[in-house]
């Protein structure tokens, strides 16, 4: 417990990480309050199209090409984008942790095969693969999450494999072996909990890249047509990128802040987990 | 004239958790051609002392805060960086503990040796490589013509240490500082390297400041020995005298004179210090006892030892900082 | 010197050309595996594969579909189809883009130079500038300059590519009017020689910077960490003990060793870079593979998309070979590790 306390103290001493945490909480608050502050459907065409921010007090951030309230879109978009980020990361973790754990734990042929597959996925350009997958499976929340997860897991797999390789030979794992624990039990109760730190750090960065990936897909018109994410707004604004640039810029800025927040928090977690490496 | 005179040197490290007085008032001197060994457990400040001479203590966090270091009569503390660089590798050479990591993996052996000559002697690269070959021969590296073009990863630890020595003596320095030169090597190789150092000294007449924790190395090589403990010098004497008649309880501990062996103390575990004959641990640098720093581990400690640090006084033909070895030691009442 | 060394040393059994060949041979299975993946993707697509290959049902004539079917052996069992498909890929036959009425390979090769120009330019800029900023930051650790570089790098890292592009367009094209908003050359102008080069360079500037900034951030951070790491190495202390100046130590002893992780990163980033160029080329109407991919998405031309995926993977494989060679040149220890 004192370890957790020291960890929190180290994290709290890091001003950049705290700033990231504050930003993150603000974004989560946006997502939580979207339904309360903007009870109407963000898809509703409520205003005059292409209102610039500040032009009409009722729609402080203006409206898009179809006259939809951008402020409402940003709040509801936070929900959808965060949901995409978290679910895609969860899915990628599921694949990556499983592959990495099996490779690191069993070694040998299992390791060889899994690492070849990982290398293969790292050779194929991830974003282009995601595009192809979404096009083939037709864009929907499920296919987008699947595509993002499929291109994001190799990094986690390598990380988890490395952790497992180094933890495998440690005393507490050997003790488990002597006690006659089964493989699954050893992996889940002995090794995985000790590898959790680096996994959490890379997960926080992965949420950020997942949100970016979804937005990039949506920018190319490959978003879920029924969900308004930040990417959807950007995609809709693509046709007026030069004239009504604020339509794409506002959700773009929201993504910037979100990626920044997750990066800062991730780095803070990393520093707090490895105090030795600070100031490097 | 004394070649190197260190007087009351204080090198401190300014860290987040406080000031660490790694070297806290150490005085040493070396005459031309002499071998002075500085011994002590790891963390006693012997390496920091050596690094201080060349101004190689990493700053921050380390800094020389007091004392003087005179080399050939010239003050080195506060010497401008440019002048200090002119001395390094030219008048004073240095070899390090880890031959495996002390050579640049991306440069050939010849280039790394030749670099010193290019820097200090104005050699061309071609001249430097020719000379590097001769130097490799001198430090008894077989087939120097081939080795000169090779990268360090092809050499064994012992060979790499020879390369380091070749590099350090390329400009025929007056002083060679050897920081644990044999610690990382196999026992048989250790002997060869010590042999080599002795023959080089004989050939060039250079003085050697030998930093080591290994008294076996000291006995073979050194003219004189200084023993350091927790940032201070606690005893100094000619090698033969020190071995025959150690004065300070710590020195006697090092020499294994203390019968109780703490070897089977389970608490010491794997990380037991190398000189395990002495029970207890070196005090942390930021938690020094007020009196004699060895008192908490000393089998002969008296009440006076815990009050004020003892000064170095003549004892047994050398000097020692120990109340028990000094005839004019103050009584407890006087100190209090 | 180095060449002489590699010939003279007896134990170096593998001259460079052998190394290159061995490295190329090693990537052939990777290529085959990617070809198989492509086939699986093709099979995953809903509907008849012939429809997919023709680019969405309804647009192709029945005769064409029949021709496609026999051309791809789609009337045969799956494994035979796979063999057939991979065999065709190996003969560099990527099929026909019905939408563009052009062979897929020809279409891609026509667009490839523009993308390579953009990619190499962006990577070069990011690498060189990133390394320079990383070196600067590492020489002033935790100082004002270091913090400034860190903050800027973090911002570049977090900004979505299209937003950077958008910002540049608004400032330099719309408001200042200094640079063209998109395309490869000025439409209607038929420049030659130097004028042509300048025209392309002006069009290239914004997409290149847009694509480079993200990677610039990565390289600056990596180089800083790498420099600090190397400066802590024992051999740097050795170099100091030789009396070398800090500048000379940085150039001769630190830079080269600090570059090694940078080069590794270069290889890892080529795939990401190609993905980024899809967005950048779309924003700037840059007529490269990325823009082609966007067009293929818009028209749901799956066969073209699969061709792009394959060729981009080949680009990554080749880039990785080059990176490995560069690494072997930088790090003399490689010959042992192989």
Q: What confidence score (pLDDT) does residue C71 get?
A: 66
Residue of C6, C233, C238 best to disrupt the B interface, most CBs of B under 10 A: C238
Please tell us whether the domain made up of C111-330 is placed in CATH 1.10.940.10.
Answer: no
Please say if the pLDDT value at position C4 is more than 50.
Answer: no
Q: Is residue A53 situated within a structural domain?
A: no
Q: What confidence score (pLDDT) does residue C121 get?
A: 93
Q: What confidence score (pLDDT) does residue C1 get?
A: 38
Q: What confidence score (pLDDT) does residue A153 get?
A: 93
- Residue of chain C with shortest Cα separation from B101: C234
Nearest to C162 among A128, A234, A263 (CB): A234
The 3-class SS string of chain A reads CHHHHHHHHHHHHCHHHHHHHHHHHHHHHHHHHHHHHCCCCCCCECCCCCCCCCCCCCCCCCECCCCEEHHHHHHHHHHHHHHHHHHHHHHHHHHHHHHHHHHHHHCHHHHHHHHHHHHHHHHCCHHHHHHHHHHHHCCCHHHHHHHHHHHHHHHHHHHHHHHHHHHHCCHHHHHHHHCCCCHHHHHHHHHHHHHHHHHHHHHHHHHHHHHHHHHHHHHCCCCCCCCCCHHHHHHHHHHHCCCCCHHHHHHHHHHHHHHHHHHHHHHHHHHHHCHHHCCC
Rounded to a whole number of angstroms, the distance from the CA of C108 to the nearest CA of chain A is 14
Instruction: Tell me the CATH number at A143.
Output: 1.10.3720.10
Q: What confidence score (pLDDT) does residue A5 get?
A: 75
pLDDT tier at B222, thresholds 50, 70, 90? confident
Whether the ipTM is more than 0.90: the answer is no
Nearest to C306 among A132, A219, A279 (CB): A132
What average pLDDT does the segment C280-284 reach? 89
Q: Is residue A66 situated within a structural domain?
A: yes
Please say if the pLDDT value at position A256 is more than 60.
Answer: yes
C43-94 pLDDT tens trace = 877 766 666 666 554 556 777 777 767 766 666 777 877 888 888 888 888 7
Q: What confidence score (pLDDT) does residue B334 get?
A: 45
Nearest to B101 among C1, C235, C242 (CB): C235
Please say if the pLDDT value at position A165 is more than 60.
Answer: yes
Residue C21 in contact with partner chain A when CB distance is under 8 A: no
Please say if the pLDDT value at position A47 is more than 70.
Answer: no
Q: Is residue A146 situated within a structural domain?
A: yes
What average pLDDT does the segment C321-329 reach? 85
- Mean pLDDT, chain B, rounded, equals 81
Q: What confidence score (pLDDT) does residue A279 get?
A: 41
pLDDT tier at B263, thresholds 50, 70, 90? very low
Q: What confidence score (pLDDT) does residue C154 get?
A: 86
Q: What confidence score (pLDDT) does residue C15 get?
A: 57
Please say if the pLDDT value at position C192 is more than 80.
Answer: no
Q: Is residue A85 situated within a structural domain?
A: yes
Supply B40's token pair: 């002590």
| Between B43 and B227, the higher pLDDT residue | B227
| Between A168 and A114, the higher pLDDT residue | A114
Supply C180's token pair: 């063209």
What average pLDDT does the segment A43-58 reach? 70
Task: Return phi, psi of residue B70, to 5°.
Answer: -110, 125
Asked if A280's CB is within 8 angstroms of C228's CB, the reply is yes
CB pairs A-C closer than 8 Å: 139
What average pLDDT does the segment C194-222 reach? 88
Q: Is residue A73 situated within a structural domain?
A: yes
Residue C202 in contact with partner chain B when CB distance is under 8 A: no
A59-84 pLDDT tens trace = 676 777 776 777 778 888 888 889 99
Please say if the pLDDT value at position B155 is more than 90.
Answer: no
Q: Domain spans of chain C? A: 2-103, 111-330
Please say if the pLDDT value at position C7 is more than 90.
Answer: no
Question: Distance (Å, rounded) from C-alpha B257 to C-alpha B249?
Answer: 9
A134-138, B217-221, C66-70, C267-271: least confident range: C66-70
A180-184, B48-52, B124-128: least confident range: A180-184
Supply the range of the domain harboring residue A233: 23-41+61-277
C96-146 pLDDT tens trace = 777 777 888 889 998 999 999 999 999 999 999 999 999 999 888 888 888
Domain count for chain A: 1
Q: Is residue A231 situated within a structural domain?
A: yes
Q: What confidence score (pLDDT) does residue C181 get?
A: 77
Predicted TM-score (pTM) of the model is: 0.80
Site of tokens 């959490």: A200
A29-44 pLDDT tens trace = 887 787 777 777 777 7
Q: What confidence score (pLDDT) does residue A144 get?
A: 92
Collect all residues of chain A within an 8 Å Cβ-Cβ radius of residue C222.
none
Report which listed range, B198-212, B310-324, C94-108, is most confident: B198-212
């Amino acid at each position: 417990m004192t370890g957790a306390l020291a960890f929190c103290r180290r994290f709290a001493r890091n001003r950049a990480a705290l700033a990231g945490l504050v930003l993150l909480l603000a974004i989560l608050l946006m997502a939580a309050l979207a339904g309360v502050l903007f009870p109407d459907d963000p898809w509703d065409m409520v205003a005059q199209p292409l209102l610039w921010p500040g032009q009409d007090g009722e729609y402080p951030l203006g409206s898009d090409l179809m006259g939809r309230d951008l402020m409402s879109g940003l709040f509801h978009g936070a929900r959808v984008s965060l949901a995409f980020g978290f679910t895609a990361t969860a899915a990628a973790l599921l694949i990556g942790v499983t592959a990495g754990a099996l490779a690191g734990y069993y070694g040998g042929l299992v390791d060889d095969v899994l690492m070849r597959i990982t290398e293969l996925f790292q050779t194929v350009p991830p974003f282009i693969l995601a595009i192809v997958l979404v096009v083939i499976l037709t864009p929907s929340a499920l296919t987008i999450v699947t595509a993002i997860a499929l291109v994001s897991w190799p990094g986690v797999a390598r990380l988890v494999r490395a952790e497992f390789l180094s933890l495998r030979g440690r005393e507490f794992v050997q003790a488990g072996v002597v006690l006659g624990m089964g493989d699954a039990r050893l992996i889940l109760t002995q090794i995985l909990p000790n590898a959790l730190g680096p996994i959490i750090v890379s997960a926080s960065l992965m949420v950020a890249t997942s949100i970016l990936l979804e937005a990039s897909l949506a920018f190319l018109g490959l978003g879920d047509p029924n969900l308004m994410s930040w990417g959807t707004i950007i995609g809709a604004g693509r046709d007026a990128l030069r004239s009504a640039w604020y339509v794409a810029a506002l959700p773009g800025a929201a993504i910037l802040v979100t990626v920044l927040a997750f990066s800062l928090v991730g780095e803070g977690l990393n520093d707090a987990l490895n105090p030795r490496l600070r100031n490097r | 004239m004394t070649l190197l005179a260190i007087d009351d040197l204080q090198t401190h490290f300014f860290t987040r958790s406080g000031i660490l007085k790694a070297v806290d008032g150490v005085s040493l001197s070396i005459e031309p051609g002499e071998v002075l060994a500085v011994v002590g457990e790891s963390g006693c400040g012997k390496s920091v002392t050596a690094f201080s001479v060349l101004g190689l203590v990493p700053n921050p966090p380390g800094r020389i805060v007091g004392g003087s270091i005179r080399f050939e009569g010239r003050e080195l503390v506060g010497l401008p960086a440019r002048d200090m660089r002119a001395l390094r590798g030219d008048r004073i050479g240095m070899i390090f503990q880890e031959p495996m990591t002390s050579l640049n993996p991306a440069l050939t052996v010849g280039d790394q040796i030749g670099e010193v000559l290019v820097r200090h002697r104005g050699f061309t690269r071609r001249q430097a490589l020719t000379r590097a070959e001769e130097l490799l021969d001198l430090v008894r590296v077989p087939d120097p013509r081939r080795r000169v073009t090779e990268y360090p990863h092809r050499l064994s630890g012992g060979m790499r240490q020879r390369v380091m020595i070749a590099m350090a003596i390329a400009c025929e320095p007056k002083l060679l500082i050897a920081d644990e030169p044999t610690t990382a090597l196999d026992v048989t190789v250790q002997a060869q390297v010590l042999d080599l150092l002795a023959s080089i000294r004989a050939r060039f007449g250079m003085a050697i400041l030998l930093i080591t924790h290994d008294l076996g190395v000291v006995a073979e090589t050194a003219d004189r020995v200084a023993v350091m403990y927790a940032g201070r010098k606690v005893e100094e004497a000619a090698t033969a005298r020190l071995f025959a008649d150690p004065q300070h309880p710590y020195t006697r501990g090092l020499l294994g004179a203390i019968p109780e062996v703490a070897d089977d103390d389970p608490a010491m575990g794997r990380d037991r210090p190398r000189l395990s004959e002495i029970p207890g641990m070196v005090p942390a640098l930021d938690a020094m006892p007020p009196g004699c720093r060895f008192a908490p581990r000393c089998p002969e400690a008296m009440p006076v030892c815990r009050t004020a640090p003892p000064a170095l006084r003549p004892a047994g033909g050398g000097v020692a900082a120990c109340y028990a070895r000094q005839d004019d030691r103050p009584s407890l009442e006087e100190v209090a | 010197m180095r060449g002489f060394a590699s010939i003279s040393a007896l134990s170096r059994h593998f001259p460079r050309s052998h190394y290159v060949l061995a490295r190329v041979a090693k990537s052939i299975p990777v290529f085959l595996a990617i070809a198989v993946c492509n086939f699986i993707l093709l099979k995953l697509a809903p509907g008849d594969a012939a429809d997919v290959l023709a680019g969405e049902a309804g647009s192709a004539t029945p005769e064409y579909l029949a021709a496609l079917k026999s051309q791809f052996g789609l009337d045969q069992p799956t494994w035979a189809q796979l063999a057939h498909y991979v065999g065709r890929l190996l003969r560099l036959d990527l099929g026909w883009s019905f939408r563009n009425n052009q062979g897929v390979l020809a279409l891609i090769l026509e667009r490839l130079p523009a993308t390579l120009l953009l990619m190499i330019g962006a990577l070069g800029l990011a690498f060189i500038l990133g390394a320079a900023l990383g070196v600067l930051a590492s020489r002033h650790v935790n100082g004002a300059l270091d913090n400034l570089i860190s903050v800027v790098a973090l911002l570049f890292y977090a900004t979505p590519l299209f937003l950077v592009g958008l910002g540049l367009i608004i400032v330099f094209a719309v408001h200042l009017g200094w640079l063209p908003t998109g395309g490869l050359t000025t439409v209607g102008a038929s420049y030659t020689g130097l004028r042509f080069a300048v025209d392309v360079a002006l069009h290239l500037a914004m997409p290149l910077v847009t694509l480079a900034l993200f990677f610039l951030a990565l390289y600056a951070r990596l180089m800083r960490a790498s420099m600090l790491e190397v400066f802590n190495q024992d051999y740097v202390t050795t170099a100091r003990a030789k009396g070398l100046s800090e500048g000379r130590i940085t150039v001769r002893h630190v830079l080269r060793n600090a570059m090694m992780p940078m080069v590794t990163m270069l290889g890892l980033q080529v795939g990401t870079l190609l993905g980024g160029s899809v967005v950048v080329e779309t924003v700037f109407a840059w007529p490269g593979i990325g823009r082609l991919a966007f067009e293929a998405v818009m028209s749901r031309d799956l066969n073209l998309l699969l061709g792009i995926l394959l060729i981009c993977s080949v680009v990554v494989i080749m880039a990785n070979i080059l990176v490995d060679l560069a690494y072997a040149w930088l790090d003399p220890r490689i010959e042992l590790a192989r």
